[in-house]
Chains A and B, each alone.
Chain A
């Protein structure tokens, strides 16, 4: 017999945190469930009013959460939709409601008794986790998909991508085998024929599965599976098909939608070929691998200039492919590193070998491998300690011309000079190892405000070319210096909490109050910089060598208590804000504007807004923990 509560249970089964509950618990919490209807415009909860005895789960509809007692001073702080909760703060904070909640459309809510949920938090770790942690990860995947969908209309390859049928792009030579052969036999075929994917077909020649290099790695080697097992145990069915007449962008859409890297190209009902995402990239001339090869083959700066322009297209392509922002940064850094190395090689040919061994280092976003589109040059030279002052003069003369040449070459390749002159062409930043050691000890031991600024800039240094050992020796020394440097860390902690992310934004989140970027959100200083600063502070505390934010978080996972607890959240927040920035800059470039870090909140979707708010909340929470730790030194 039908029971009206079953409908509630069915709904809650899809909604976190209730989805973590077993049948029995769901029955218990819905024993006294009730249901309310609020027409559009109804106030569900009043600011300053009682919180009531219920948590509301929105079954259908939407509500805005706002502060203020009249329309004039209303500040909207959040939107809630299907499956979202209203009034859960009451679980942790008895007393009056802190906000108004108003239905923005006709809204139906299920009401669950507060004391039952409170009990659940005590007994169920998953529910506790949900309420105590932010909701960030819940939105992250959805938000990612949305962004990638958004970047699809930009066709990097231009019209051809929309007019060329995939049969012209696909690899025509398809190798098939029986699904009954062993894993080893399949691998043998793949290695002999030099293919990355093998199609398994049954006796009617109908494809039933595919095995890729990745399957062999993930499902066989990593799992220690026996090589004599049949290949069908690890193949991936069903295979996604595309018609030979479909266009490139349709194929790409399919790949993204189904999260596959191979498509079977079918013509007149039979297998015609196989299309990989690599085929698509090559077709567009924007394969990162192809670009790196082209860079390696250049002999002159003139040859490098056109290649450097292709880097932006690669960002666009990676965005489309759904690559995470951290990985986009890594790919772009790798390409830029190659470009710099090539420029330095060309410079060495021009000026003759350097009189001393040296290391070209980069810092700032380049040092952290967080570059996407071209940013200011931040570079320096560490050279081996000279034997005599005379030697040093010769070296200085050599590098004077050499570094100016490199600076100009980088400029031609799209990297503008650093306005603050943090470049190797500035003699202050072209120094022997011992001078660099002296610099760092001055900065760390006598932390004036300029010293802190310099150390923050240079601490993210990373070697790109030359004698990496010099860079490693300097890193050793910095790590040695950082023992027991409470005062210095206190200064860095102050930096890390200086930029508070704007929490009360949403809908009309006005962040910049005046100037050119009025009403826009500065993603770099409000979102990215705080996380970079936090990761750097913790890296210095634990004296680890990593320089990129994501690598620092990874390395600190077992070492730092805050990262142990909040590492995932910080990583997600960072990836998400970075992705938004890359996406925004890519759009600006497409519109032939200078890319910047400002985002117009009106261009964000609801989901993106919510996700970025969650990301900001994470940053704010961690900043609070830092304030707690360093409270004696916070000013």
Chain B
């Protein structure tokens, strides 16, 4: 008989096992909204994230926080995000939000679209606040798309054109609704749906193990890609 404890134990082992199936992973799909792209001057103004249990998007497990920015907001990003400085003024400071966010992510594999930008801003804060960085494995849907495009070159849905790798372009191609205003949570949700569409295509292309997916889907170097077995991530 398999006890709950045994199942949990198995689950724990799976997390670190690059041999394990991509449909049996816990993912957290994230997006951030920034005041700009200059890491030295700009800062995070909101973080959105939604969990995925394998191919299942857990809408009930969503994270969305607006953050009081550390620098003045630029007018063009106000236009994009529709967040006015007055709105942001009342929001919590980054320190508390980062802690909540790390708790929310736990040890799940992080997914994002062009996620290295998000991760560099997040890790800048994590380092500043906690003296460490997030070591979760990271997957970038834009890289996964690039891989699938090569594998499925004959399919219409993968025809190249300028800007085809933008999140909303991809969403439209894969029949994911993108109407309405966008914020960090909606974009994370769109990214999650995109990844959900990618899973069967990946399996069809022979990518079944998370290790194989990370080998081309991660924006970071090989060393950072895998966690060593038994490593304890302590934030």
Contacts and interface: CB of A to CB of B under 8 A. Distances in A.
A111 B186 CA distance: 19
B208 interface: no
Contacts of B55: 36-37
Interface residues of B, number: 21
A35 B59 contact: yes
Contacts of A31: 60
A189 B175 CA distance: 60
Contact of B59 (A2, A33, A37, A106): A33
B66 interface: yes
Interface stretch (B2-10, B101-109, B147-155, B193-201): B193-201
A460 to B, nearest CB: 56
A106 B175 CA distance: 10
B53 A34 contact: yes
A36 B23 CA distance: 12
Contacts of B50: 4
Contact of A5 (B56, B59, B197): B59
A132 B55 CA distance: 32
A3 interface: yes
B185 interface: yes
Contacts of A8: 59
B60 A111 contact: no
A50 interface: no
B1 interface: no
A31 B58 CA distance: 10
Contact of A4 (B53, B189, B197): B189
Chain A interface size band reads 10 to 19
A32 interface: yes
Nearest to A31: B60
Interface string B166-210: 000000000100000101011001000100110010000000000
A1 interface: yes
B34 interface: no
A4 B189 CA distance: 8
The 7 A-B residue pairs with the shortest CB-CB distance, nearest first, are: A32-B60, A35-B57, A37-B196, A34-B58, A34-B56, A39-B200, A33-B59
Interface of A: 1-5, 8, 30-37, 39, 42, 106, 110-111
18 contacts: A1-B64, A1-B183, A3-B62, A3-B185, A4-B62, A4-B189, A5-B60, A5-B62, A8-B59, A30-B60, A31-B60, A32-B60, A33-B59, A34-B58, A35-B59, A35-B196, A37-B196, A39-B197
Interface of B: 50, 53, 55-60, 62, 64, 66, 175, 181, 183, 185-186, 189, 193, 196-197, 200
Given A2-B64, A4-B186, A34-B57, 9 more contacts: A1-B183, A1-B185, A2-B181, A2-B185, A3-B64, A8-B59, A36-B196, A37-B196, A111-B56
